[in-house]
Amino acid sequence: MDMQTVVVCTSGATRADVIAVARHGARVQISPAALDALAASRAVVDALAAKPEPVYGISTGFGALATRHIGHDLRAQLQRNIVRSHAAGMGARVEREVVRALMFLRLKTLCSGHTGVRPEVARTMADVLNAGIAPVVHEYGSLGCSGDLAPLSHCALTLMGEGEAEGPDGRLRPAAELLAEHGIAPVELREKEGLALLNGTDGMLGMLIMAIDDLQRLHTSADITAALSLEALLGTERVLAPELHAIRPHPGQAVAAANMAAVLKGSGLTGHYQQDEAPRVQDAYSVRCAPQVSGAGRDTLAHALLVAERELASAVDNPVVLPEQGRVESNGNFHGAPVAYVLDFLAIAAADLGSIAERRTDRLLDKNRSHGLPPFLADDPGVDSGLMIAQYTQAALVSEMKRLAVPASADSIPSSAMQEDHVSMGWSAARKLRTAVDALGRIVAVELYAATRAVELRQGLTPAPATRAAIDALRAAGVPGPGPDRFLAPDLAAAEAFVRTGALITAVEQITGPLA
């Protein structure tokens, strides 16, 4: 199969484009219209550069040093220097997919025709992406205002043939060697180009788009595991009736309830909640309110998606070129507040989804609340501990997610001699959301592991066809069912992979049809 090619246009990019380039190695190609737009905006910059009047980013210093006029003989050095000095990141390397998203989104903005870089700069960035070269970008260095400065600077450094980068084989090497190996000439930056390569919200936006992609899959997976837990606890599916959710018309809530109802269709385990020695009038909140919590998270995702789509259609730079008017104007569009807020919002919603899933797992393991299941779902309780410590691990992940839900965007710290006196911390919000998404995948996997075992322990009762399909697929993936104690960590890792890759959804949809 030919590798997918994403065409970069003047009008922006789609979420699918970002995912294809960042995660699946898609090639990029610059459209002829984008090359024309690049040339037109560059003509404006060249005309202003020839005039004696200072223009920010073209013939001045940067930030608090913008008061100095820079002569023609020092302008190339000025652009090189901003890249070198701003490539000041520290800490662990960020993931390859984040770097590719970062570079692709910066390329998208360059091709908008509002940044003033030459077409050859954009072509070089496209060539680096297509060669599978990923600059070394570090965890710390962005305040989320004036863009993701240090991360983007490390990417620009690679375009100049400086610093280190990861080759397509995963090895770190000098950037100059990698460029030469792939026949890519390093760029020699001219007026405004260094600044244009650094001044965007591309890192936080790329991480937002990938988090949305992951969370959409995890919400559907969490609806499935909630249904499995309801079934294993002999709960009632009547709370999922569409007429109940129609009278509180949050869209996500109705979707989550419909997903759960589809999974439970034909179950022989549901509806036994009034047959206990002490009949239940209602199921516990963690079971009964699953659609409300998952649904609120889905609506949060919808809002985040709206922000992401707007940002994908944006040209974020300072100063910005307005070719039609022949002007270059300073602005504040690089401020990451819109993206930072939704990154934090998603971390809050994800933490609550993880929290309610853990409460259902704990209920499955507690003989006083599980309605007839053995303690900790153990084979021989006392001799076997069952899933006792799996729930500990899940609880630790939930606590971590609660800490990660503390907003980064509520913070600000002055920089650049008080010129940049309010910042978004959007990069930090994105980094902690990535950690939260990973944790949520593990939490859902533990609930899946517990709920499928609990369903199988309900001897004499027939689970829903969709439940049976999920159990069979999980077992086929190497995750065993009930039995004596065994080394749990590999089983939990396999369950996590089963959730993270979407295999759980695929198995269930073979019975239910598409879930939302």
**Known catalytic residues?**
56
8 Å CB contact between 219 and 441: no
Q: Compute the chain's Rg from CA coordinates.
A: 26
CA distances from 101 to 32, 410, 414, 516 (A): 22, 25, 28, 26
Q: Which residues contact 23 (CB under 8 A, 6 or more apart)?
A: 97, 100, 210
Adjacent-strand bridge partners of 140 = 90
3-state secondary structure string across 179-208: HHHCCCCCCCCCCCHHHHHHCCCHHHHHHH
Residues with Cβ within 8 Å of 365's Cβ and at least 6 positions away in sequence, in order, are 375, 376, 377, 386, 387, 388, 391, 450
Query: Tokens representing 142?
Result: 């962005």
Question: Which residues, at least 6 apart from 131, have a Cβ–Cβ distance to it below 8 Å?
Answer: 168, 178, 182, 184
Give the span between the Cα atoms of 153 and 86, in whole angstroms: 6
- How far apart (Å, rounded) are the C-alpha atoms in residues 296 and 299? 5
CA dihedral 366, 372, 375, 377 (to 10 degrees): -100
Bridge-based pairing state of the strands 5-8 and 27-30: parallel
Strand, coil or helix: what is 211? helix
Calpha distance 89→111 (Å, rounded): 26
User: CA 198 to CA 153: how far, in whole Å?
Assistant: 6
Interacting residues of 128 by C-beta distance below 8 A, sequence separation 6+: 103, 135, 158, 159, 179, 184
Residue owning tokens 């609880």: 395
CB atoms within 10 A of CB 400: 18
Distance from the first to the final alpha carbon of the chain: 29
Give the whole-angstrom CA distance, residue 458 versus residue 370. Answer: 11
Question: How many other CB atoms sit within 10 Å of the CB of residue 456?
Answer: 17
